[in-house]
Amino acid sequence: MMAELSDKEYAMQRIQEVNTALSDGMYVAARRMLHNMPACDIALLLESSPPKSRAIVWKLVDADEHGDILEELSEEVQKSIIRQMAPEKLAAATEGMDTDDLAYVLRGLPDQVYQEVLKSMDERDRERAETALSYDEDSAGGIMNTDTITVRADVTVDVVLRYLRLKGELPEATDKLYVADRNDKLIGEIALSRLVTVDPSKVVSDIMSPDIVSIPVDMDETEVAKLFERHDWVSAPVVDADQQLVGRITIDDVVDIIREDAQHSMLSMAGLEDDEDTFAPVLKSTRRRTVWLAINLVTALLAAMVSSLFEDVLAQMAVLAILNTIVPSMGGIAGSQTLTLVIRGMALGHIGSSNSRWLIGKELAIGALNGVIWSVLIAAVVALWMQSWLVGGIIAFAMMMNLLAASLAGVTVPMILKRFDIDPALAGGVILTTVTDVVGIFAFLGTATLLLS
Amino acid sequence: MMAELSDKEYAMQRIQEVNTALSDGMYVAARRMLHNMPACDIALLLESSPPKSRAIVWKLVDADEHGDILEELSEEVQKSIIRQMAPEKLAAATEGMDTDDLAYVLRGLPDQVYQEVLKSMDERDRERAETALSYDEDSAGGIMNTDTITVRADVTVDVVLRYLRLKGELPEATDKLYVADRNDKLIGEIALSRLVTVDPSKVVSDIMSPDIVSIPVDMDETEVAKLFERHDWVSAPVVDADQQLVGRITIDDVVDIIREDAQHSMLSMAGLEDDEDTFAPVLKSTRRRTVWLAINLVTALLAAMVSSLFEDVLAQMAVLAILNTIVPSMGGIAGSQTLTLVIRGMALGHIGSSNSRWLIGKELAIGALNGVIWSVLIAAVVALWMQSWLVGGIIAFAMMMNLLAASLAGVTVPMILKRFDIDPALAGGVILTTVTDVVGIFAFLGTATLLLS
């Protein structure tokens, strides 16, 4: 019997039904619906609910589903929920969680609650939690699970198979067994797909893959994600400094990192946090965005100050005031195209010292070409509109200058920022806009002052 | 023996060495280095090379590596390379490629070359290619592989294991076997991890998972990726309209889609294509970006025209010309924060009819709060700078209006665009900027006209 396809539309429809029940105050019906929903759908419902409905939904959900749902939530939303849970309920919810998820939840807790949750846990879970928490959150250790299955090199496949049958069940997403020596050093691996195809009388050391790439426990998660992408891995072993196997990372956790890393640039460019909660309370969202607006107000004031240097010519000719925004605006657009491309290229690891000079040359050439096209066009438009070829010529010159400046800044600003270890996606846009505003206004109003006053 | 960790830095270093050898004209040394490089590193080298070096590197690479490298390249770069290959060489390179990669390469070919490549293939590859090409490129059929392993429900595990040992090797990333009935209808699946833990005398029908979610062959790849992410799958079966198994999709292909989808919004917002090649030739890049600049020039001209409506007041007071850019600029920044958040929320499936009203209310509240903060501040700055509380009051009013308009437009523009099936990431920014420019200028210069002239 095949299950109905539970695709997004279907999930959205069910979520809609729950929402309708909630807004009609039909809590019993809502509770029944939630009872039949898979954890990933409830997580989606919570992610897309305003704070108040979030609290209600959470109360209506079966308590034994809490753990599974928490695992599926994004950091921000998860935090907003666990902050309202009693420590002993939280301890119950974390029972049986994967090590990496457990550490993730515990890290989000205030110190006191954290101690209480730890106290409410049973011995084994507490130990697991403490080990996981000893690694950095964004490192391989922070995202790994400790549920590896290890075999010795000198036994036969038949013995391994009997051992597995005795175990009865393997951890989720197990696709290989690891081979360790007497000192627990990792010396090889066997894919399950190999285990089922070889002659059972063979010895493990003869059929294992000895040349495996393992991940150091302190490697940054973004590096881990890149390795997974490059090598098409489903899982990979994690080792400590002595090459001892300490855990494994599975693709499902890596997928989250890949998506977050890919979204990071877009959110940073708008001054938003990686894990920004769309449905966060107003005050919290305002606080964050205010900082960004403050930075940009400084940029805008700077541009106004540059304009104010040319107050005389502006007072003389209102036409210049009308046209003054065109050149900075086009520069900003052209520059942000280059900037976006370079930021993405850096994130993909395509841009280095070997090709940066070529790239600057290329972008300057594009800037020059676009400069010619748009200078001619804007000159014609302005000359016809304002009935002055001189003003047309001035804006054409400013456009050319600013598109060149935009290209140059679009490539070099992120490169320089990266050298100083500043996130180009976060700071690049503001600096670029400042460059294109200042150059654009100087070129336009400065030339006008020279030629017209 | 453990292999050295081949992380990105290491790859980048080797790529640097090849580049140095190439620029010194040491082609023999470069060829030797390339010979020892894994396909994924050569792909990275090609992706980060300007067109000329790309052609040289490709010539130096072993011909029997061509297929593996092509599989790793992004669409744009792949196209630029296969366009220069002779059809019979291309046919040789595609030998043994996974079905989905094969289809991907063939789709990039001009019609005539495509026919020739198909002719140069052996019978089996040609059939595989033609099947794969019959599905839409962006559908489940376009990304699936046909290398599934199927067993019958009435045999024992022991028989299955003997069958697998006879086969000798399983396709890459095989994590489960599929169970089909006499009519090839998919009726269940068995994970390899289950196969190795159950009693071998058990019958397949007793140990298989019957309630599996399968993917219709015409499902859009973005939907497929979402299902993988939600369910933490490693692979999933693909079925046709009759529930017959036609292939399987593996996580490594899905990871590419997840990354591309996540990057899509950022690139679209800057008017760039999803698969934009950072190192494309100048002319090609210019052509694409010119369209985007053209659209934005219209926006800039529109803003200038709005300003021109207030020529009288601008001619009277140059101060207004100086301050005229501040309000539109702040509106643009605030609006694009909201826009980015909403676009991401839509991509994640968090925003629907049930919460859109709440979201509009929230963003308007943030706009109002920010409006109050920045109105007061800008009023003070301008009053002190320009020595006029009246001008300060006018800009404060305009700021308030424009931040409200920015919030409202930031939420509603993408929602409306989506209803008309227009990509909000592509068109949203331009429309938003137009709104914040026009409202900002109208509010500032309009009020100034009323109060000052």
Residue A240: CATH number of its domain: 3.10.580.10
Mark which of A199, A233, A250 sits at the end of a domain: A250
- Domain contains B119: yes
Confidence class for position B8, pLDDT limits 50, 70, 90: low
**CATH code at A390?**
1.10.357.20
Of residues A3, A7, A258, nearest to B211 (C-beta): A3
Query: For residue A336, is it within any domain?
Result: yes
Residue B212: inside a domain: yes
Rounded-to-integer distance, Cα B229 and Cα B213, Å: 14
Number of domains in chain A: 3
Does residue A273 fall inside a structural domain?
no
Residues A292 and A167 in one domain: no
Q: Look over chain A and give the mean of its residue pLDDT values, rounded to a whole number.
A: 88
Q: Which of A289, A296, A378 to mutate to test the interface with B (most CBs of B within 10 A)?
A: A289
Residues of chain B contacting A351 with CB distance shorter than 8 Å: 48, 278
- Could you read off the pLDDT of B249-303 as tens digits, one per residue? 999 889 988 888 888 888 888 888 877 788 888 888 888 889 899 999 999 999 9
Q: Does the structure's ipTM exceed the value 0.95?
A: no
Least CA distance to A371: which residue of chain B? B290
Distance separating alpha carbons of residues B17 and B6, to the nearest angstrom: 15
- The beta-carbon neighbor of B223 closest among A8, A340, A377 is A8
Burial classification of residue A373, based on how many CB atoms lie within 10 Å of its CB (0-12 exposed, 13-18 middle, 19 or more buried) = middle
* Cβ contacts of A157 within 8 Å, gap of 6 or more: A195, A198, A199, A200, A201, A202, A203, A204, A207
User: What's the rounded Cα separation, in Å, for the pair B368 and B371?
Assistant: 5
Same domain, A128 and A238: no
Same domain, B423 and B444: yes
B80 and B48 co-located in one domain? yes
pLDDT along chain A (453 residues), means of 10: 48 78 85 87 87 87 86 84 82 77 78 79 78 85 88 94 91 90 91 93 93 90 88 90 91 88 86 82 85 92 93 90 93 94 88 86 94 95 93 96 96 94 90 94 95 82
Tokens of residue A83, six digits: 């902050």
DSSP annotation of B5 reads P
Residues in A touching B192 (Cβ below 8 Å): 175, 192-193, 196
What pLDDT shows up at residue B2?
Answer: 39
Chain A CB within 8 Å of residue B383 CB: no
**In-domain check, residue B158:** yes
A232 touches chain B (CB under 8 A): yes
Asked if pLDDT for residue B319 goes beyond 50, the answer is yes
- What pLDDT, in 10s, does the model give residues A369-428? 999 999 999 999 999 999 999 999 999 999 999 999 999 999 999 999 999 999 999 889
Q: What is the pLDDT of residue B83?
A: 81
Q: Is A198 in Cβ contact with B165 (below 8 Å)? A: yes
| Cβ–Cβ contact A377 with B under 8 A | yes
pLDDT in tens, B152-190: 999 999 999 999 999 888 888 889 999 999 888 999 999
Domain with residue A27: its CATH number is 1.25.60.10
Helices B51-60 + B39-47 axis angle, to 10: 160
In this structure, what DSSP letter does residue A412 have?
H
Asked if the structure places residue A6 within a domain, the reply is no
* A208 part of a folded domain: yes
In terms of DSSP H, where are the helices of A200-325? 204-207, 221-231, 251-269, 282-308, 311-316, 318-323
Query: Using CA atoms, how far apart are residues A383 and A323, in angstroms rounded to an integer?
Result: 12
Residue of B258, B378, B388 lying closest to A300 (CA atoms) = B378
Domain that holds residue A166: 150-250
> Where does a domain end: B138, B170, B204?
B138
Q: Is residue B2 part of a domain?
A: no
Residue at a domain's end among B138, B171, B202? B138
Q: Taking CB atoms and an 8 Å limit, are B270 and A336 in contact across chains?
A: yes
Looking at the fold, whether B30 and B160 belong to one and the same domain comes out as no
**Same domain, residue pair A341 and A239:** no
Cα distance between residue B344 and residue A276, in whole Å: 10
Q: Write the CA distances from B414 to A8, A224, A234, B429, B436, integer angstroms.
A: 20, 35, 36, 9, 15
Domain identity same for B380 and B238: no
Q: Does A296 touch chain B (CB under 8 A)?
A: yes
Q: What is the amino acid identity at position B222?
A: T
- Alpha-carbon distance of B429 to B180, in angstroms, equals 50
Q: Which of residues 249-288 of A touch B (CB under 8 A)?
A: 251-252, 255-256, 258-259, 262-263, 265-267, 269-272, 276, 278-279, 282-283, 285-286
Residue A346: C-alpha distances to residues A142, A414, A429, B160, B337 (Å): 25, 9, 15, 48, 23
Q: Are B66 and B125 in the same domain? A: yes
Q: Is the domain of B159 the same as that of B239?
A: yes
Task: Answer yes or no: do B77 and B209 share one domain.
Answer: no
Is the pLDDT confidence value at B331 over 80?
yes
User: What's residue A4's pLDDT?
Assistant: 44
Read off the amino acid at residue A386. M
Which band of pLDDT confidence, cut at 50, 70 and 90, is reported for residue B126? Answer: confident
Mean pLDDT is lowest, of A4-8, B57-61, B268-272, B322-326, for A4-8
Indicate the helix (H) or strand (E) that contains A216. strand A215-216
Alpha-carbon gap: B152 to the closest alpha carbon of chain A (Å): 15
Q: Does B181 touch chain A (CB under 8 A)?
A: no
Say whether pLDDT at B128 is over 90: no
Listing DSSP states for A345-375 in one string gives: HHHTT---TTTHHHHHHHHHHHHHHHHHHHH
Contact assignment for A352 to B12 by CB distance below 8 Å? yes
Residues A230 and A300 occupy one common structural domain: no
Is the pLDDT at B1 greater than 50? The verdict is: no
Instruction: Tell whether A393 and A291 lie within a shared domain.
Output: yes
